[in-house]
Amino acid sequence: MNAHKVAIVLATYNRASILPLALKSIMTQTYQKWELNIINDASSDQTQEVVDRYLDNNRVHYLKNFSNQGMIKSRNAGIDHCKAELIFIAEDDVILREGCLEILVKRFNDLKMIGIKNLFCVAPKILSVSSSAQPQNSSQNEGSWFKLNRLTGWIYTHYGDKFVETPILPSVGLYDSRLLRKIKHDENYGRNILRSDDDLHLTARKLGLRLFYEPRAMAMHLGYKSGGNRGVGLSAFFIRGFYIWKNQIRFTSKFFRIRSIYMNFIFSLVYLIYSCFSAPLVIRRARTVSGEGTQELTSVQSFRRMYKQIFKKLSPVILKDLE
């Protein structure tokens, strides 16, 4: 295996409580030819103290923003700072399995060796802590599908157990540094990364670049509910809600043009209704639920499940809709 040097970009904001887990998972990778670039986005917690423990390692580089810039600008700053052949985009609430980098680099090399040109990214399978305990249909897990709702432009993904080429990948992944520096993330999406990754990947695909999903490389997403420009408590719900709406509208307008007019109208209407049902659920999570409240909570959860199932059925394969 060619020992490419991998520059790891890790932007973080107010995640001092879980950042050590992400950093430890990087330090203990079986693939050790890496350098780590940590971008502290003006955190107000103990992030500085956490990072200080690692700065005696000459492979660890540290950048700190004077003011909070948001994930997208911080990540782009990290990308500009990297000089290695490959860049791995990490996240502060994602824990890498110990062989993750090694498997991704090997797959990257193998694809190059068989003549794959314009190779942009190879990404791992991301396991969600919140969903990993849920029983799932084994036949569904074998497939890997990527769907786009024809009415709203909302993207659904299922990262199964098969290696595939795809236009959409998780945000965590191994990139050709030369190509990534040319494209980078669209900073017009604002402070939150939502849909910026999809924008990056679809832009790359439209330029003729190729993206692959490698399920043997795995990472665990903790889905931390605070920090990362999400806010705290109810503020997190409203901040995230705003960015979901704004970034989705920008995404569909950019890639679907005239069709985005009806997509954006339908999405705004459906998302307003969905948010009205979700808000009580978020509020009640902070309280002790009992008796009649439990029944109300269950009805809200049932609505959310029904909503997702209906729109998944109206979702064609994303490749057919974008090419």
Structural domain contains residue 36? yes
pLDDT for 288:
41
pLDDT in tens, the chain (323 residues): 457 899 999 999 999 999 999 999 999 999 999 999 999 999 999 999 999 999 999 999 999 999 999 999 999 999 999 989 999 999 999 999 999 999 999 999 999 999 999 999 999 999 887 544 343 444 445 577 788 888 888 888 888 898 999 888 988 999 999 999 999 999 999 878 889 999 999 999 999 999 999 999 999 998 765 555 544 444 566 777 888 899 999 999 999 989 999 999 999 998 888 777 766 665 555 444 434 444 444 555 666 677 677 777 777 655 554 54
Number of Cα atoms under 13 Å in the Cβ half of residue 111: 24
Domain-embedded: residue 226:
no
Domain boundary among 221, 245, 264: 221
Q: What pLDDT, on the 0 to 100 scale, is given for residue 160?
A: 86
pTM score:
0.86
> Looking at the structure, do residues 262 and 168 belong to the same domain, yes or no?
no
- Helices 292-313 + 260-285 axis angle, to 10: 160
> Do 263 and 216 fall within a single domain?
no
Rg (CA), the chain: 20
pLDDT score recorded for residue 239: 73
What is the number of structural domains in the chain? Answer: 2
Q: Which of 189, 221, 253 is the last residue of a domain?
A: 221
- Per-residue confidence (pLDDT) for residue 293, from 0 to 100: 43
Boundary (domain end) residue, out of 221, 256, 275: 221
Q: What was the pLDDT predicted at 232?
A: 44
Span 138-176, pLDDT tens digits: 444 557 778 888 888 888 888 889 899 988 898 899 999
Q: Which of 88, 71, 106 is nearest to 37 (CA)?
A: 88
The two three-digit tokens of residue 70, written as one number: 């948001």
Secondary structure (H, E, C), the chain: CCCCCEEEEEEECCCCCCHHHHHHHHHCCCCCCEEEEEEECCCCCCHHHHHHCCCCCCCEEEEECCCCCCHHHHHHHHHHHCCCCEEEEEECCEEECCCHHHHHHHHHHHHHHCCCCCEEEEEEEEEEHHHHCCCCCHHHHHCCEEEECCCCCCEEEECCCCCEECCCCCCCEEEEHHHHHHHCCCHHHCCCCCCHHHHHHHHHHHCCCEEEEEEEEEEEECCCCCCCCCCCCHHHHHHHHHHHHHHHHHHHHHHHHHHHHHHHHHHHHHHHHHHHHHHHHHHHHCCCCCCHHHHHHHHHHHHHHHHHHHHHHCCCEHHHHHC
The rounded distance, in Å, linking the Cα atoms of 144 and 158 is 5
Distance between CA atoms of residues 269 and 249, nearest Å: 12
One domain, residues 142 and 260: no
- Whether residue 267 is contained in a domain is answered as yes
Rounded-to-integer distance, Cα 314 and Cα 7, Å:
40
- Tens digit of each residue's pLDDT (9 = 90 or more) over 7-18: 999 999 999 999
- Looking only at the bridges linking them, the beta strands covering 155-158 and 60-64 are unpaired
Tell me if 171 is assigned to some domain. Answer: yes
Q: Is residue 1 part of a domain?
A: no
Residue 300 CB contacts under 8 Å (≥ 6 apart), including other chains: 277, 278, 280, 281
- Answer yes or no: are the C-beta atoms of 166 and 159 closer than 8 Å: no
Q: How far apart are CA 7 and CA 37, in angstroms?
A: 7
| Same-domain check for residues 294 and 201 | no
Query: Which residues constitute the domain of residue 269?
Result: 234-322
pLDDT at 241: 81
pLDDT at residue 159, rounded to an integer: 82
pLDDT tens-digit readout, 259-303 = 999 999 999 998 888 777 766 665 555 444 434 444 444 555 666
* 86 in the same domain as 14: yes
Give the contacts of 116 (CB within 8 A, at least 6 positions apart): 210
